[in-house]
Chain A
Amino acid sequence: KAGVTQTPRYLIKTRGQQVTLSCSPISGHRSVSWYQQTPGQGLQFLFEYFSETQRNKGNFPGRFSGRQFSNSRSEMNVSTLELGDSALYLCASSQGQLASSYNSPLHFGNGTRLTVT
């Protein structure tokens, strides 16, 4: 099985711009989660989608949004970029069940490294 694929691998944007990151989960996985990783804050949970519905959301401002498509692929969008948004954005998928995915191991992609200048 192909792993989790994230595109692009690297992005450079300027303050005020917006950006869209893409994630293709492992085939058959219906749960997709996004994490932001920075040296100062570590790994922070952004949101989780299951069957096109956002089921959980971390403590991030509304500039961070996401969506999931019917084929389980997911995108996240960051609008009005700030310097502090520079980070590695990791997507993870899991088999997850309709009732619960909290106990399913996550399978991560290589991430998208976003640099905001």
Chain B
Amino acid sequence: AQKVTQAQTEISVVEKEDVTLDCVYETRDTTYYLFWYKQPPSGELVFLIRRNSFDEQNEISGRYSWNFQKSTSSFNFTITASQVVDSAVYFCALSVRIQTGANNLFFGTGTRLTVIP
């Protein structure tokens, strides 16, 4: 069975601070994909990044960076110099292949980030 744990329910930071959102996953599959999505108040989930289980390279995109460590089954997300626009709920998600090849994305419970101006 697959499981994604986002232990941080809510985080508040002051603008320009760095913040790391934790994500721990569980799966017995050796091939899987990890994702991060952002859900602003408008409700629409926005895709941020995808990482497959064979690619442990960290990734940086502007102020966003992701640290994938298979040894600890973690896929953490760091926002550098946070801004008010970063305020949202962030979801980590896991997908493994099933027989039909269908979408099988399993979400964590999300972390609500509030950036205080």
Contacts and interface: CB of A to CB of B under 8 A. Distances in A.
Interface of A: 3, 31, 33, 35, 42-43, 45, 48, 50, 55-56, 88, 90, 92, 94, 96-97, 99-111, 113
Interface of B: 33, 35, 37, 42-47, 50, 52, 91, 95-98, 100-110
Contacts of A109: 44
A74 to B, nearest CB: 13
B55 to A, nearest CB: 12
A102 B102 contact: yes
Contacts of B109: 42
A106 B47 contact: yes
Contacts of A56: 98, 100, 102-104
B38 to A, nearest CB: 10
A57 B28 CA distance: 21
A43 B91 contact: yes
Contact of B44 (A105, A110, A113): A110
A3 B50 CA distance: 19
23 contacts: A31-B102, A33-B103, A42-B108, A42-B110, A43-B110, A45-B105, A55-B101, A55-B102, A56-B104, A88-B43, A90-B43, A92-B45, A99-B101, A100-B97, A101-B103, A102-B97, A102-B102, A103-B52, A106-B47, A106-B103, A107-B47, A108-B46, A110-B44
A42 B103 contact: no
A101 B45 contact: no
Contacts of B91: 43
Contact of A102 (B46, B47, B105): B105
A48 B100 CA distance: 11
A84 B21 CA distance: 30
B47 A100 contact: no
The 10 closest A-B pairs by CB, nearest first: A100-B101, A55-B102, A56-B102, A43-B107, A108-B45, A105-B47, A48-B103, A55-B100, A111-B43, A42-B109
Residue among B47, B97, B98, B108 with max Cβ neighbours from chain A (10 Å) = B47
Nearest to B108: A42
Contacts of A102: 33, 95-98, 101-105
